[in-house]
Amino acid sequence: MPSAVARSPWSDEMITGHHVAGLVAWGVERDVAEPELQVSRLTVDMFRPVPMRPLTVRTHPIREGRRLTVMGISILDDTVEVTRATALLLRRSEQPDGDPWTPPDWDVPTPESVTETSPDSGLSWEIRTITDANGGQGKVWLRERAPFVEGQELSPLIRAAMMADYAHPISNAGRHGLSFINADLTVYLARYPAGEWIGVESAGHIGGGGIGVGSAWMHDSAGRFAHAVVAATPDGRLQQRFG
């Protein structure tokens, strides 16, 4: 059952993509018992508004192998499927030798040294802005403040899935703010994050014909651990609601 902090900034009648992604990750962890299988990709298709009503999370195996598992996840409003997702899980093993190219390390202030942005926002997560996304390369630290499911510990995977949705505003906002709404989310995880703070850094936006694609790197105190990508379509509701 969604609580008030799950309400979307786009509409009072729907929950945020942040919490939709969290529900998908929660369903995977609930139904995968093998601890050495790690979610390496989570793809979430948000093809209907997810309402502020009681929701059901169902999973089904698509492929179960020794090294690789693929799981389907559905979020339902009564009998109507409002979100469909897939999770690719890979078995952990020894990392091979080699030195593939990687982007430069993320060199930013620690979250403790950055002032909270909009402390009275009413969001379930805290934002500490390093650089503003509106027209520049956005960089932020994020921390979830509210329990996700009452009485359950917030897992690293659920933290990562929820914060991955921030790839949308940080990469798709421009000089006039955010004019897109994302229709999906895909996050690739080399590992799960350590600690409660997750850094999100815009990796760029491409667009044309009313379609936007944004991507972002995700970091923790040990370095880069994931890459998130979203596809988005124009939507003026944010600017209408907040000016």
The one-letter amino acid code at 90 reads L
Q: Is the pTM of this model over 0.75?
A: yes
Q: Mean pLDDT, to the nearest integer, of 13-41? A: 96
Q: 216-241: per-residue pLDDT in tens?
A: 999 999 999 999 999 999 988 888 87
Q: Mean pLDDT, to the nearest integer, of 32-57? A: 96
Check pLDDT > 90 for residue 67. yes
Q: 100-135: per-residue pLDDT in tens?
A: 999 999 999 999 999 999 888 788 999 999 998 777
pLDDT score for 60: 96
pLDDT score for 3: 93
Domain boundaries, given as residue ranges, for the chain: 4-92+110-242
What architecture is domain 4-92+110-242?
A: Beta Barrel (2.40)
pLDDT score for 176: 82
pLDDT score for 175: 83
